[in-house]
Amino acid sequence: MIDVHCHLEQPNFEKDRDNIIEKSKKQLKAIITSCAHSKDFDLTLKLVDRYSGFIFSTVGIHPKYVNEISQKEKDVFIERIKEKKDKIVGIGETGLDYYWIRDKRLQEKQKELFIQFISLSKELNLPLIIHARDSYEDTIKILEREDAKLVIMHMFGANQLTKQIIENDWYISMNAIVLKSKRHKKVVRDTPIQRLLLETDSPWLAPEDFGNKRNDSTAVKFIAKKIAEVKKVSFEKVDKVTTENAINLFQLNF
């Protein structure tokens, strides 16, 4: 199994990050951590170097940070990403978030930043990890208009648009929200397994089996079991196919 989307740079992991990674190495083939703010880039690169062949990274700016980082800082960050492209397997998470950002002016700034990262993913020929919250239609419209190809819809929950995602040959990564959400179960039901990936979005979204504890990458097994149940296939098939999907899409080298 591969966790294609988590956040190992978060302070929640500060006290025991290495222990969590070692625990994950016993159960998973790889982890892809998502650096979503420029301030976390150096730590992310250190993790990639320290755990070469197990930890990989995607890099971008989460849309909710659109007003925290100046344009100059964004430009410098994008240049750093280009310089370190050999240590990166994807761009993102990026996209549109109208849940946290309701100011129309800032939503327009989100769109501008989103387009910058789409362009970067095409320039570097890297997959694009998409965050869309209360913004599915606008997000998909921009992706299609900008002719984005290698796209992963992270935690996608708009089942009425699943067909459109599949027709575009995009991927969907699913986390523990599928254990409870009927909408997300329908997305899994209607998405070919060849287009599905496993993620945790840890340290958030811990499954009930974790109690009230912080989530970590080992939770992918619960998502795989639920996907197997929804799609009426074996756990082993979900494990095998989603792992192959991740390796091929992100061009992972072990």
pLDDT in tens, 95-146: 999 999 999 999 999 999 999 999 999 999 999 999 999 999 999 999 999 9
Tokens for 173?
Answer: 């990564």
- Our count of domains for the chain comes to 1
Which residues make beta-bridge pairs with 153? Answer: 130, 172
* DSSP states of 40-94: GHHHHHHHHHHTTTTEEEEE---GGGTTTS-HHHHHHHHHHHHHTGGG-SEEEEE
Q: Which residues contact 75 (CB under 8 A, 6 or more apart)?
A: none
- Whole-angstrom distance between the N-terminal and C-terminal Cα of the chain? 14
- Are 135 and 96 in contact by the 8 Å Cβ rule? The answer is yes
Reported confidence tier of residue 61, pLDDT bands at 50, 70, 90: very high
> CATH code at 75?
3.20.20.140
pLDDT in tens, 178-222: 999 999 999 999 999 999 999 999 999 999 988 768 999 999 999
Q: By residue range, what is the domain housing residue 78?
A: 2-250
What pLDDT sits at residue 210? 85
What value does the CA radius of gyration of the chain take, rounded to a whole number of Å?
17
Tokens for 180?
Answer: 């409870």
Quote the mean pLDDT of the chain.
97
Residues 196 and 171: their CA atoms lie apart, in Å, by 6
